Amino acid sequence: MYGHITLRPAPADAGIVFRRLDLDHFEIEAQGKNVARVSYATSLMKQGVLLSTTEHLLAAIYSCGIDNIYIDIDAIEVPILDGSAEPFMQMLEQSGVRKLRRKRRYLRVLKPVEVSEGDRRIGIYPADEFRVRCYVDFPHPLVGQQEVEMLVSPETFRHLLARARTFCFERDIQPLRSMGLIRGGSLENAIVLTADGVMNGPLRFPDEFGRHKALDLIGDLALAGLPLLARVEAHKAGHSLHTQLVSRLLADRSAWTVTTEETAARESETGATSLMPAIASD
Ligand SMILES: [Zn+2]
């Protein structure tokens, strides 16, 4: 069973909205209030209607600076495709982006908000542009410690993150399949790690795992509902911590404000201050 998605223009202030075509166009807004916590991917739920694996598509939309869009889908799960965000970037680039007359609204973070679980932690901090730093430390010969630090713009996302694919373990595939969680799952839509290597290489980047985690992070931050003026630091985090951070941020009304002031953000949209990622591995 394959799902189909169609991306359609939406009016100002619509936000990023999924529409389940198979359920009478039921709308699920890509917002923190609709997060249903699931560990292996991020799912949204509204009035009992579920939509899973939103993060790769949302990462592409959010990084491209698209504030208003309808995502029409006829299935419960966003197609995983090759496990990266590249196919979604291609869709967005083929259709193009239209500027609306309305001033762009940003969510400006005013004070730090942090969430931690053991040695895993994530925090969001005030900044004049949207930056992420993502550190992973994963006990596998091909992964180890990896770090990505970058300004998020359409250009940096396309060049540094979009092609990085999701990973899974050979030993985990069968149980997930039997639970019906990876319907289209195969060697074509994830890097499959064995105990000491990869079943379906080569990797697209030596640090593809770290890059993909940064992609996931951006896709989950999209659930803030507006473009961010903030710096986010994730240390061995994952979907659960990402979405907890978004929920905690949105719940603390003293931690952010909505602004149309875009002096700093305009600079970042041109990519003028983009940096190459700092990569550390051992
Ligand atoms: Zn992912």
Q: 83, 191 in Cβ contact below 8 A?
A: yes
Residues 6+ apart with CB under 8 A from 85: 56, 57, 59, 60, 157, 161, 162, 163, 215, 219
Q: What is the pLDDT of residue 222?
A: 98
Both tokens assigned to 190: 């994830």
261 Cα to the center of ligand 1, angstroms = 32
115 Cα to the center of ligand 1, angstroms = 20
Q: What is the pLDDT of residue 180?
A: 66
76 Cα to the center of ligand 1, angstroms = 17
N- to C-terminal Cα separation, the chain: 41
105 Cα to the center of ligand 1, angstroms = 27
Print pLDDT tens along the chain (282 aa).
578 999 999 999 999 999 999 999 999 999 999 999 677 899 999 999 999 999 999 999 999 999 999 999 999 999 999 999 999 999 999 988 888 888 899 999 999 999 999 999 999 999 999 999 999 999 899 899 999 999 999 999 999 999 999 998 888 777 766 776 655 556 788 998 988 899 888 999 999 999 999 999 999 999 999 999 999 999 999 999 999 999 999 999 999 999 997 655 454 443 322 222 333 333
Q: What is the pLDDT of residue 240?
A: 94
How far, in Å, are 85, 134, 139 from residue 231 at the CA level?
A: 22, 11, 27
Rounded CA-CA distance 177/4 in Å is: 20
The conformational region for residue 271 under phi > 0 = left, psi -120 to 50 = alpha, else beta, is left
Rounded CA-CA distance 174/185 in Å is: 10
101 Cα to the center of ligand 1, angstroms = 34
List the catalytic residues.
Answer: 239
263 Cα to the center of ligand 1, angstroms = 32
135 Cα to the center of ligand 1, angstroms = 15
